[in-house]
């Protein structure tokens, strides 16, 4: 696969999913596009300065770029502001004409049951390419626990 899209959000599972994305791209000397989506509240303009979230995104992307270099795979990282993460990820996959999307998700529970949230089902339903999920282990935690994005 020449182009792989990897949406990240600071979860422990991001590192494992990056390794998977790098393995997919490495065989064909491809590229991994790492995407951090900031969901902007509807009450704010889409281009609003969301400093804490942007700072967090930069830290996550820097970590992913460092790990990608260790894997000897070309990494292109970007922060994107959008109203909803699911459509933003799918649109990015379309725009970049990627061969696959790899999504790492933590093991989340809602009302005692494993839950994918809203974003993952949207990506699975609308993605223009294969989607691979890397689910963290039961009991794994995220480094910056947030249940909005994979």
How many domains are there within the chain? Answer: 1
The answer to whether residue 49 is domain-embedded is: yes
58-93 tens-digit pLDDT: 999 999 999 999 999 999 999 999 999 999 999 999
12-47 tens-digit pLDDT: 899 999 999 999 999 899 999 999 999 999 999 999
User: Domain containing 94 — which CATH number?
Assistant: 3.40.50.620
pLDDT score for 117: 85
CA-to-CA dists, residue 73 to 19, 104, 140, angstroms? 10, 18, 27
Asked whether residue 56 carries a pLDDT value surpassing 70, the answer given is: yes
Cα 113 from Cα 107, distance rounded (Å)? 10
pLDDT score for 135: 87
Residue 8: pLDDT band with limits 50, 70, 90: very high
Q: What 3 state SS string does the chain have?
A: CCEEEEEECCCCHHHHHHHHHHHHHHCCCCEEEEEEEEECCCCCCCCCCCHHHHHHHHHHHHHHHHHHHHCCCEEEEEEEEECCHHHHHHHHHHHHCCCEEEEEECCCEECCEECCCCHHHHHHHHCCCCEEEEECCCCCCCCCCCCCCC
The answer to whether residue 147 is domain-embedded is: no
The answer to whether residue 111 is domain-embedded is: yes
pTM (2 d.p.): 0.87
CA torsion angle 118 84 51 68 (round to 10): 70
The answer to whether residue 43 is domain-embedded is: yes
The answer to whether residue 141 is domain-embedded is: no
Write out the residue range of the structural domain in which residue 12 sits. Answer: 3-135
Cα 113 from Cα 50, distance rounded (Å)? 32
The answer to whether residue 149 is domain-embedded is: no
The answer to whether residue 119 is domain-embedded is: yes
The answer to whether residue 144 is domain-embedded is: no
């Amino acid at each position: 696969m020449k182009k792989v899209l990897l949406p990240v959000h600071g979860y422990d599972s991001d590192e494992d999913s990056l390794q998977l994305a790098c393995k997919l791209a490495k065989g064909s000397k491809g590229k991994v596009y790492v995407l951090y989506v900031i969901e902007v509240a509807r009450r704010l303009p889409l281009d609003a300065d969301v400093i804490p979230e942007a700072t967090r995104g930069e830290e996550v992307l820097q970590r992913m770029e460092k790990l990608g270099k260790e894997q000897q795979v070309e990494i292109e990282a970007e922060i994107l502001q959008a109203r909803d993460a699911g459509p933003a990820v799918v649109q990015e996959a379309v725009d970049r004409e990627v061969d696959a999307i790899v999504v790492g998700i933590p093991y989340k529970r809602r009302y005692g049951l494993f839950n994918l949230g809203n974003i993952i089902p949207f990506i699975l339903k609308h993605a223009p390419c294969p989607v691979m999920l890397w689910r963290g282990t039961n009991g794994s935690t995220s480094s910056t626990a947030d249940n909005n994005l994979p």
